[in-house]
Amino acid sequence: MKNAFKTLVFATAILLCGNVSFAQAPGCNSAAEIVSKMWQSWDKVSDKLPGDVPGSQFVSFAAKSITNWNQMVAGNSWATIGPRSLNFGEKANGTVLGQTTRVFTLPPSNKETVTITIKKIDGKAKTGISVCSEGRQGNTRTDDNYTFNNSDDPETKKFIIEKAKNRVLSVTIKNYSVGNKFQYTIEAN
């Protein structure tokens, strides 16, 4: 009976320790594929657009369906499928619930320096932020990482991205908490 109890305790410890995830910045992987596809779409239509106007062209029915859903129903709300768009000079509000991720993408920058501001306005989830950029040739770089700690206190973090010109920026927000939320505003200038 003692051996069975020891085995149970040992197995439980392994299971618990095996499921522990250490909070770290979410990184660029989730946004890199999205941004790569944005550049491919951009290359297809960029010759037809005046100046530095960003654009996209969707080929498949699934992509068109998602786009229509997001435009007609979701907008840039919680119901949006896939990444949210964020334009320079605009603000977006949102809430990331238990262990989910939100990705924002910005059009190619026409400025050398971009400032992205994230304000935590409610919730107490430990939340990781990664700001990444990708050039036309697919060279992705992590520009900055930050973690909002598990706290009720409001907090503001400014990310200043240098050498941003002609790069698509993405912001990944990853909630590490099971039961807590992270409510925020995000702005890019």
Whether 102 is in a domain gets the answer: yes
Assigned domain for 4 exists: no
Look at residue 11 and tell me if it is in a domain: no
Decide if 100 is inside a domain: yes
pTM for the whole thing?
0.66
Q: What per-residue confidence (pLDDT) applies to 160?
A: 97
Given the structure tokens 């306005």, which residue do they identify? 121
Q: Is the model's pLDDT at 182 over the cut of 50?
A: yes
- The CATH number of whichever domain residue 117 belongs to comes to 2.60.120.380
Give residue 29's domain range.
Answer: 24-188
CA–CA gap between residue 134 and residue 115 (Å, rounded): 16
User: Quick one: pLDDT at residue 45?
Assistant: 54
pLDDT, tens digit, 9 for 90 and up, residues 116-142:
999 999 999 999 999 999 988 888 899
In a domain, 2, yes or no: no
Residue at 112 is within a domain? yes
> What is the reported pLDDT for 44?
60
Confidence of residue 79 (pLDDT cuts 50, 70, 90): low
Total domains in the chain come to 1
The closest alpha carbon to 82, from 105, 57, 58, belongs to 105
Q: What integer best gives the mean pLDDT of the chain?
A: 74
The predicted structure's pLDDT at residue 85: 82
CB contact at 8 A, 105 and 92: no
Return d(Cα 180, Cα 177) in angstroms, integer. Answer: 6
- The answer to whether residue 6 is domain-embedded is no
Q: What is the pLDDT of residues 55-76, one digit of tens each?
A: 333 334 445 555 666 666 556 6
Question: What are the tens digits of pLDDT across the range 99-118?
Answer: 888 999 888 888 999 999 99
pLDDT in tens, 8-19: 333 333 333 333
Confirm whether 35 is domain-assigned.
Answer: yes
